Amino acid sequence: MKTTEILSTQFKYINNNSQEFLKICLPYFLLVVLDSYIPENSLVTVPMAMLFYFYSLVYYVVTTLMIVNIHRYMIIEDKNYYSFKERLKPTFRYACYGILLLVISFAPVGLFYASFLFFTSAASNILPESISLIIIGVSFLIMIFCMLLVYPSFALILPIAAIGEKVEVFKMWKLSKGFKLTIFLQLFIVWVVFLLILTPLYMWIGEGLLYNLFSSFLFLLAYILVISSLSKTYLLWKDERVSQLKSV
């Protein structure tokens, strides 16, 4: 199944099951909208640092729960979206594997940024400019490699963790063979289209109530499409594995 077919199929699926996705995503959407309209100079007496950490924790939990719910609805048709008993374990598992994948995939971004700052400032008088540029270039290549290859190679861990199946982290690089490109393209196509729609709109109407609401909705739609497409890819991957085992 081609990447464009997966995306179009999932877009239609989301549209046809919009009520279920509304139930799943409403807390997340309200949280995002609320964040956009909390006045910076409000009468909140809680220290801003404490408020920031609390909001970040709530945001991560709500986001993780939404993703787990989408995967479980897509893969095993589980509609117990807000059952504490049903969701505690899979949400915790997903959070752990999500953090692991985030570190593996995007830590090199921090490496590149740190190397860029270091070798363009403090080390500028220590190392020759050519050596500094080489180190920055190597860090940049490592970052691109991890973002474009590591994430697609391990992304199937996420739906597996969400539905409670056994996760084989160290085998996933090999097991995901044949599906890495489509996972990358799904992510790339969705967010490029998102930016192509949103950027001209921002230049046309500027920031305001209409733009904030529309951009929040469009961001959520793109997010759902990426997650559900990964679920669909997992189902295709699982079917292929079953077929391979039967043919042995």
User: Is residue 120 situated within a structural domain?
Assistant: yes
User: Is residue 95 situated within a structural domain?
Assistant: no
List, run by run, the mean pLDDT of 10-residue segments along the chain (248 residues): 91 94 91 66 56 80 93 92 85 87 69 62 58 68 71 90 87 88 91 87 76 84 94 93 74
Domain coverage including residue 120: 104-177
User: Is residue 236 situated within a structural domain?
Assistant: no
User: Is residue 157 situated within a structural domain?
Assistant: yes
CA 172/CA 163 separation, integer angstroms: 16
User: Is residue 108 situated within a structural domain?
Assistant: yes
CA 208/CA 13 separation, integer angstroms: 31
Do the beta carbons of residue 218 and residue 33 sit within 8 Å? no
Distances in Å between the Cα of 17 and the Cα atoms of 11, 13, 14, 83, 91 are: 10, 6, 5, 20, 23
User: Is residue 87 situated within a structural domain?
Assistant: no
pTM, to two decimals: 0.80
Sign of the CA dihedral running 227, 228, 232, 234: positive
User: Is residue 110 situated within a structural domain?
Assistant: yes
> What is the structure's pLDDT at 234?
95
User: Is residue 243 situated within a structural domain?
Assistant: no
Q: Specify the number of domains making up the chain.
A: 1
